[in-house]
Structure 1
Amino acid sequence: MRIVSFVLFSALLVDGCAEAPPPATPPRAPRPREACAESVPTKVPLYGDLHVHTAFSFDARSYDTVVTPADAYRFARGEATLLPPLDAAGKGTREARIDRPLDFVAVTDHGEFLGEMYHCMTPSSPKYDTFTCQTYREEVGQGASTFAVRLSQPNPTRVAELCGEGKDCEAAAKERWQAMQDAAEAAYDRSAACSFTTFVGYEYTNTFGISNLHRNVIFANDVVPELPVTYFEAPTPLDLWEQLRDGCKGAENGCDVLVLPHNSNLSNGRLFDPTYPGGATIEEEAARASLRAEMEPVAEIFQHKGSSECRNGFLDVEADVDPLCEFEELRPPEDLQCGDKPGSGGMRLWGCTHRHDFLRYVLKTGLLEAERLGTNPFRFGLIGSTDTHNGTPGNTSSVGFPGHVGLVDDTPDKRLGAGTETHDGVINNPGGLAAVWAEENTREAIFAAIRRRETFATSGPRIPIRFFGGFGYDAGLCGRPERLEEAYAAGVPMGGALGASSGSEPTFFVQASADPGTASWPGRPLERLQIIKGYVREGKVYEKVYDVAGTPAAEPAVDTSTCAVLAQGADELCVVWADPDFDPKERAFYYARAVEVPSCRYSTYECNGLDPAAAPPACADPSVPKTVQHRAWSSPIWYGP
């Protein structure tokens, strides 16, 4: 969700006080389930979406999205859904369907304003005809901005006309929160087939300074708090972590939870600011850093609003140019750089760009913090997702993309346009996927995989990527049928850590396969495997990008007039690689990147289907890329001396 203007930001009137945190759920055990008929010790890739909005979100409903959480889960399993514009009966008029069902999903509607939205969209509510609700319903999108501006305040307040001192919205919010739980429970396959997993979750929507500090909160099972802990109760991320730790993890009632930060590319450096408010000593700072690492084991590197991996040209980053960083970036290269201090306004692409807007440099800062504090607050794995506001999880196909934001991008002109006050147009994309390596498709197995960071992200395709590190892998590992058993036995998988070396350099086993696609739409071959290394040397952090398998595609790689792929590639790439620049005294991380051959960007497919005489300006704009190289990112492996 983006914020419209500093005028609204400055004009907001304070009309209430922050509420106390909600009480914990009474003790009870999670519901039982059947054992899976099949469990794979070496793990299988599972693909999902952990960032999904429906009509329960204050912004999505303002864009005329009427898809419910239950509808979103049905869509993820392969059923069609109807998107805006709405007909006279209030039903969608555009059909959307995913190309392949997902394995797991969490609907993460905004925890903020659940009660307010119930009042404004439920005619039987005594608050339905209030001025606030009438205004919210009048103009598409404007209601979202009016509510969202409150979330940019340091001490946010509720709408007094709807909530009084807060209690008038509490019962309504509980009704919506229960409906979110019921939808997740109804869709979860508890049978031995283990075909589909859901998680109860929500989004924490801290937009302080019009910068993105948002997090998705995912619960391990059906034991959850009575209400979400939102920005109103937890005005800082530290408050969120502490309240979830104490009210859920510490409640001894079966509740467990993880927090997933996202869209650092819109945060002006605030989402991963390496400071520790209230920490007066190194020990206190280290305790806060440890809490962060415990609560936030993974971060979202790619979604509808772009890539948060890396960016060339930072004056305060020691690195060679990485051409593959120029992938689905939202902000132009000439943007003002923040330097050391975070900025503001990033939700609307205002203000400065900070190196901590990109996860590669946050991971590097984590190495420095580990040296200083003895603990790394930024030891996170990687996932992708969509951030759909249409209730269409995993709808990432570049062909026939229907948009993710209701009436904001329901037509080609809007999707290929300059955007609106709250969302951008052609610079957005269909989004990515969250993926895990898990023994089986259950809440327990997937949640455990996320906690141990055995996760990977994709920019939309289903590219399974394996990444292991150790000190004894040999060059013949790729060719052996028992390679996975050996890889687990002799090293650590992605998300793990290697201890001190006895003198030999670490070796890494990396393997990726091309997305097979579908019968009607085959996938693209792989071009290259790369390993990205970040390391500390004499108090400074550096990085290197190594091509370890495959070769860059020859030009021309794509016929953009027809979108025919001309480049040759591989169905599978596998290699055992040893770091040629290893120094056992230097703290480091490594992650793998599997890159497809170039293919048409979604906007090129869209433009090719339009009458050139009536096509939007973006179709002829040289600044809009014609092609993309889709990819998968593994979670890192860390080395510590």
Structure 2
Amino acid sequence: MTQPRHVITAGLLSRLLCVYLFTLPFTAGAGQAYSEERHPCRFHDEYRQPFFGDLHVHTRYSLDASTQGTLTTPAQAYGFAQGQSLGIQPWDESGLPMRSIRLNRPLDFAMVSDHAELFGEVHMCNTPGFEGHDSWQCGLYRGWSIGAYYLFNFMSSMMASHMSMCGENDTLCKQASVFPWHDTKQAAEAAYDRSDDCSFTSFVGYEWSGMDPLTGGNLHRNILFRNADVPELPLSFIEEPSAERLWRGLERECVGASGACDALAIPHNSNLSAGQMFTGKGDDGSPMTPEYAALRARYEPLLEVMQKGGSSECFYARGITEDELCAFEQQPIDNLAGFDRSPRPDTGFAREVLLQGLAIEAEMRVNPYQFGFIASTDTHLGAAGQVDESGFAGHGGKGVPAVDRLPPGLPDLLMNNPGGLAVLWAEENSRDSLFESLRRRESYATSGPRIISRFFAGWDYPQDLCERQDRIAQAYESGTPMGGRLPSAAAAAPRFMVVAQRDPGTASQPGVPLQRIQIVKGWRTSAGELREAVFDVAGDATNGARVDEASCALSGSGEHTLCAVWTDETFDAEQGAYYYSRVLENPSCRWSQRICVAMGVDCSRPETVGEGLEPCCADGHRKVIQERAWTSPIWYSPAATPEAPPPAGIRPPA
């Protein structure tokens, strides 16, 4: 796909600005090994560049998107990611969109990740003449989409079964699924810039969508392939109804097969897993084995810690946990099915799971939960990267059909949010370079803003490293970046360098200044106790920044860039630990409050609260938020527990 010249220019200028501000030597040249045919990127930097993207995008081929009126194709989703306008529901009598949206800033990469379980059923029900199109199930799909949404998802995600109109051995639906999968692959290939400009990267992928039937716990994973060498059909929850079977299926059909196929599975919404995504056991409830742990570590090096369904970083409840910043975009339930169950610390929040990983590693010498962080949107409009709190169009109609008209009031459920972005530190914007970034966990998540953040750890970083022109080169050469593991203790305590730059925004919508940077530490004591602590290391929580809830106007000071070298004075070489950084912007209005203000809602005057705007005055409405970025952790393990090798038959990370 040819990209408009102004989009390419904006992307290149963004790269140059990042390079200048972070004192990285920006060099042209080769050096990247490619697993598929393409031109080498002209802009290749050995000290890596930040690339912003979205790896969780649904289009017309996902049942939950299509039953809400989404007609976006994978090709249109990739076009939107690159800066093109996208028409979205509702549709007029001529089939034309009544709304259109467009990104203020294009993305660097994206992946369409439609639910694989119902590829065939959705295509069948939308294709006149296809056998099964006139079945009662497809009649339900076209005539009562909400009913079809619950029935089809119950059968596929809870019962691991196709619908009965799929025929003997599900042959009809398997045949029908060929078409959307082929379109998904072709769209990704057409969008991928194989020229030396390397302006945009598209990945082939899909979503594996399982759910625990007893608790409603979410088990979903997004499957991302390294290149265009992918299985003939995606492995869905119906064929491989457990995470371990999925990993072994990927080993059989992709990684262990002939060719250049490689893949990763990225869990998401562990906050809605009812504790079922990370149980500390095997998928069948049996004790975890070293082989299972290593298999999981190989295929799941990342966790999507933020998307429209909330933040999975950490749990907050007054009187139970002290870190009030954990209340950010916390869902009121602990499961995807909507069962009335309140979240708990052990629901599946990242901090708790990372601590579990330290305990498991101490026992079996391998950490199955050593994952880095990314974020994405989980858009159901095909609107990759539509994360701005201002002008948020929702994710598809508040869970109800929006084919003919939008439900009045807010464009989405109050508990939802625009989602976040994945940021990858890579040498260049190519599939292979970005894939290696994901594999080594040199990635981070933002709740939407394009904050730039780096995080390193070493044993002998100088205290004035932030002031040095070659700070990034030194940080790499004598330490490890986010996602890595510190070698055996070589000093009394490790030192960490953390750097952050505010989102510059655009001329019409400037970014918000930074407030502070924190380092979060979790560790296992010599007695086996699991603990955590949060340290402010740069900036000022009392900088006087304010937001006027009645107008959303911002005031006060903030920082453009922050950098600190921090020493962990509590370090004990006999205790395993993880560390990650959290960068916080000044407070600003949430998407919902921006709309409430624009609609003139005054909760003291009931006559101003129009239809659908009642959530503006709900007790649980958080009007003000602090946008943020979370880096992938860095781990330390005592010398007595070295990282175990992968089991036989598993390709080790490059």
Separation in 2, partners of 1:622, 1:565: 23
Q: Secondary structure at the match of 2:328?
A: coil
Change (3 A) 1:226 1:414: farther
Q: Partner residue of 2:19?
A: none
Partner residue, 2:467: 479
Q: 1:408, 1:414 within 8 Å by CA — same for their partners in 2?
A: no
* Cα 1:413/1:557, change in 2 over 3 Å: farther
Give the CA deviation at 1:502.
3.1
Which residue is equivalent to 1:328?
329
Q: TM-score, normalised by structure 1?
A: 0.89
Output the CA distance in 2 between the equivalents of 1:517 and 1:241. Answer: 40
Q: What SS does the corresponding residue of 1:530 show, helix, strand or coil?
A: strand
Aligned letter for 1:563?
C
Query: What residue in structure 1 maps to residue 188 of structure 2?
Result: 184
Alignment-derived partner of residue 272 in structure 2 = 266
1:581-603 deviation per Cα after TM superposition (whole angstroms, max 9, x unaligned): 11111100000000000001111
Partner of 1:592: 581
What percent of counterpart residues are identical? 42
Structure 1 position 348 matched with structure 2 position 353: no
Residues 401-430 of structure 1: per-residue CA shift (max 9 Å, x gap)? 00112474768865638xxxxxx7111111
- SS for the counterpart of 2:341 is coil
**SS, match of residue 337 in structure 2:** helix
Give the superposition deviation at 1:554. Answer: 4.8
Q: How many Å separate the matches in 2 of 1:377 and 1:568?
A: 42
Tell me the equivalent position of 1:507: 495
1:460 to 441, 445, 448: 448
1:185–1:429: structure 2 CA closer, same or farther, 3 Å change rule?
A: same
Which residue in 1 is equivalent to 2:125? 120
CA distance in 2, matches of 1:636, 1:349: 32
Superposed, 1:31-42 pairs within 5 Å as 31-42=36-47
Aligned residue for 2:395, secondary structure, equals: coil
Distance 1:276 1:162, change over 3 A: closer
In 2, the alpha carbon distance for the partners of 1:453 and 1:61 equals 33
- Counterpart CA distance in 2 for 1:582 and 1:414 is 54
Between the aligned partners of 1:245 and 1:108, the Cα distance in structure 2 is 20
Instruction: Work out the CA distance in 1 between the residues paired with 2:366 and 2:513.
Output: 40
Note the residue ranges of structure 1 that are not aligned, 5 or more in a row: 1-28, 333-343, 418-423
SS in structure 1 at match of 2:51:
strand
Counterpart residue number, 2:386: 395
1:208 aligns to what SS in structure 2?
coil
Tell me how far apart the structure 2 counterparts of residues 147 and 383 of structure 1 sit (CA, whole Å).
29
Superposition deviation, residue 278 in structure 1: 6.6
1:637 to 618, 634, 642: 634
Deviation at 1:555, TM superposition (A): 5.4
* SS of alignment partner, residue 57 of structure 2: coil
Distance 2:543 2:285 in 1: 53
Question: What residue number does 1:581 align with?
Answer: 570
Residue number among 400, 405, 408 corresponding to 2:396 in the alignment:
405
Asked if 1:304 is matched to 2:308, the reply is yes
Structure 1 Cα separation of the partners of residues 383 and 147 of structure 2: 22
Scaled by the length of structure 2, what TM-score is found? 0.87
Q: CA deviation at 1:92?
A: 2.1
Matches within 5 A, 1:497-576: 497-537=485-525, 538-554=527-543, 557-576=546-565
Contact 1:59 1:143 in 2 (8 A): no
Instruction: Give 1:110 shift.
Output: 0.4
In structure 2, how many angstroms separate the alpha carbons of the residues matched to 1:349 and 1:369?
Answer: 30
- SS in structure 2 at match of 1:487: helix
Contact 1:241 1:291 in 2 (8 A): yes
Shift of 1:115: 1.0
- Aligned pairs for 1:8-407 within 5 A: 31-153=36-158, 155-209=159-213, 210-277=216-283, 285-313=289-317, 321-331=322-332, 345-354=335-344, 355-406=346-397
Question: Cα deviations across residues 538-583 of structure 1 (Å, max 9, x unaligned)?
Answer: 1110000000001114556101222111131100000000001111
Which residue identity does 2:312 align to in structure 1? S
Q: Is the 8 A contact 2:497 2:565 kept in 1?
A: yes
Give the Cα–Cα distance (whole angstroms) in 2 for the partners of residues 123 and 361 of structure 1. Answer: 49
For 1:151 and 1:140, the matched residues in 2 are separated by 16
Aligned to 2:480: 492
Deviates further, 236-245 or 167-176: 167-176
The Cα offsets for residues 295-353 of structure 1, whole Å up to 9 and x where unpaired, read as: 001001101111111012499x8xx5001111011117xxxxxxxxxxx8543153353
Partner of residue 604, structure 1: 593
**Distance in 2 (alpha carbons) for counterparts of 1:91 and 1:119:** 23
Contact 2:397 2:407 (C-alpha < 8 Å) held by counterparts:
no
Task: Give the CA deviation at 1:252.
Answer: 2.5
Asked whether the 8 Å contact 1:54–1:65 carries over to 2, the reply is: yes
Answer whether contact 2:90 2:406 (CA < 8 A) is retained: no
In structure 2, distance between residues paired with 1:596 and 1:441: 27
Q: Distance in 2 between matches of 1:280 and 1:393?
A: 39
Cα distance in 1 for residues equivalent to 2:285 and 2:619 = 49
Deviations 1:239-271 (A, max 9, x none): 001110121000021100000000011110001
Q: Does 1:624 align with 2:612?
A: no
Q: Cα RMSD over matched residues?
A: 1.9
Mapped partners of 1:196, 1:359: distance in 2? 30
| Superposition deviation, residue 93 in structure 1 | 1.4
Q: 1:554, 1:562 → 2: CA distance?
A: 21
Cα distance 1:219–1:415, how it changes in 2: closer, same or farther (>3 A)? farther
Output the CA distance in 1 between the equivalents of 2:340 and 2:483.
34
In structure 2, C-alpha distance between the alignment counterparts of 1:139 and 1:390, rounded to whole Å: 20
2:311 & 2:565 partners in 1: Cα distance? 28
Query: How far is 1:38 from its partner?
Result: 1.2
| Contact 1:187 1:197 (8 Å CA) reproduced | yes
What CA deviation, in whole Å up to 9, does each residue of 1:483-517 have, x standing for no partner? 11000001000000012213420000000000000
Give me the whole-angstrom Cα distance separating, in 2, the residues matched to 1:487 and 1:31. 32
Question: Which of 402, 406, 410 is residue 416 of structure 1 equivalent to?
Answer: 410
- 1:349 and 1:389 map into 2 onto residues whose CA distance is 22
SS of match in other structure, 2:56: coil
| Number of aligned residue pairs | 590
Native 8 Å contact 1:83 1:95 kept in 2: yes
- Asked if structure 1 preserves the Cα contact closer than 8 Å seen for 2:544 and 2:557, the reply is no
Equivalent residue letter for 1:179 = D
Shift of 1:637: 0.1
Extract unaligned runs of 5+ from structure 2: 1-33, 602-607, 639-654
Query: Which deviations, in whole Å up to 9, do the C-alpha atoms of 1:7-43 show, x marking residues without a partner?
Result: xxxxxxxxxxxxxxxxxxxxxx964000001101111
Q: Give 1:438 shift.
A: 0.4
Indicate conservation of the 8 Å contact 2:157/2:209, yes or no: no
